[in-house]
Amino acid sequence: MKLTLGFSPCPNDTFIFDALIHHKIDTKGLDFDVEYQDVETLNLKAFQGDLDITKLSYHAFAYAVEDYELLDAGSALGFGVGPMLITKDATLAEVLQAKLKSGDGLGEFDKLKVGYPGKFTTANFLLGLAFPELTNKIELVFSDIEGALLDGSIDLGLIIHENRFTYSEKGLYKVVDLGEYWENTTKFPIPLGGIVVKRSLPKDVKDTLNTILKESVEFAFANPKSGLEFIRSHAQEMSEEVMYKHIELYVNKYSVELGVEGRNAITKMFEKAQEMGFIPHSDKKLFLS
C-alpha cells in the first residue's frame, strides 16, 4: 500500500524518517510518496487533507483535528527547545525582558513589527501567550527572519529550527526563549510538532504506521550516521556539527514515544489555547487509540 507522506527538510525530520522511507527497516508492506515542505506549508496542506501522513505544528493540529489523529512516535517535544524572540537592538531586548517579567504589558511597544514563520506555527501560539499585544506581524520564511532583522525590515524576529544556533553570531539578541517561558509557566515540555495520520485510514494501517515510525526513530538513534548523506542533502548548507546539534535538540525520548508526560503536555497546550480563544474547540480525541 502506497501512502502520501509530508515532512520538512530539517535535520530532525530527515533523521527520523530516513530508515522508514529508505526501507532500512521492515515497513510491513507500506510504501511512501514523500513531499519535503516547510512546516507552514505542511500545516496548510493538512487543512486541505492533502496528505495521508504529515508533520505539522501542534498549533495547526488544532485546526486539522477533525481529519487527523496523532501518532505516538515522531513528535518534537522537550525542554529548552522552543522558538526564540530576538532583535538587533540590545536595549530593546532588555526593555522587553523587563516588561515580560513585570507583567505590566507592552504599552508604547505594542506596535513593533514582528517577523514570524506562520500563523499556525506553535511559535506563533507561544508568542501570543507571552506578548498578546504584538499583533503587527509579517509572515516570512523562517530562514529569512534574521536577514529582515539585520536590514531593518522588522523590529523583532520569531526564530525556529537551526537559527537558534546562529543568531548571536550575527549580532542579534535574545528577548525571550518562548520554550523556557512555556516551561516556567506550565512545568511541561513544550510540544512543537507531531506526526499525524488521516482518521479515515484503516485502523490496522494506522497501527502499523505507529509501529514502523517508532522503529525508524529507534534505528536512527542506534545508527546516527546512517542517514548522514540524506540529512545533509536537505540541510541547506548547514555544517555537520550544526545538523547534529539540531537533531540532538529536537529528537529525544518523546520522538520515540510520547508517553504519559508527552500526552499530558499536548493536552495542556490544547486546553490553554482553547481557554485563551486561540484555537477552536473539538470533541475529537487527539491521540491514536
Amino acid letter, 55: K
The rounded distance, in Å, linking the Cα atoms of 111 and 95 is 15
Chain position carrying cell 506550565: 186
What are the φ and ψ backbone dihedral angles of 48, each rounded to 5 degrees? Answer: -90, -5
Q: Which of 161, 234, 246, 281 is catalytic?
A: 161
242: phi then psi, degrees, rounded to nearest 5: -70, -40
Asked if residue 4 belongs to a known ligand binding site, the reply is: no
Q: What is the dihedral of CA 270, 107, 139, 75, to 10 degrees?
A: -30
Listed in sequence order, the residues at least 6 apart from 242 whose beta carbon sits closer than 8 Å to its beta carbon are 162, 165, 166
Active-site residue flag, 161? yes
Which residue, among 201, 196, 231, has the nearest Cα to 15 in the 3D structure?
231
Is 123 among the annotated ligand-binding positions? yes
Q: Which residues of 103-130 are buried (b: 16+ CB within 10 A; e: fewer)?
A: eeebeebeebebbbbbebbbbbbbbbbb
- Please check if 222 is assigned to a binding site: no
Confirm if 68 and 51 have CB atoms less than 8 A apart.
no
Describe the strand order of the beta sheet including 156-159 as a list of residue ranges: 137-139, 114-116, 156-159, 84-87, 173-177
Q: Is 284 annotated as a binding residue?
A: no
55 among the known binding-site residues? yes
| Interatomic CA distance for residues 69 and 120, integer angstroms | 17
- Amino acid identity of residue 69, one-letter, is E
**Would you please indicate which residues are annotated as catalytic (active-site) residues?**
161
Question: Which residue ranges are tagged as binding site?
Answer: 55-57, 122-123
Question: Which residue ranges are tagged as binding site for substrate?
Answer: 55-57, 122-123
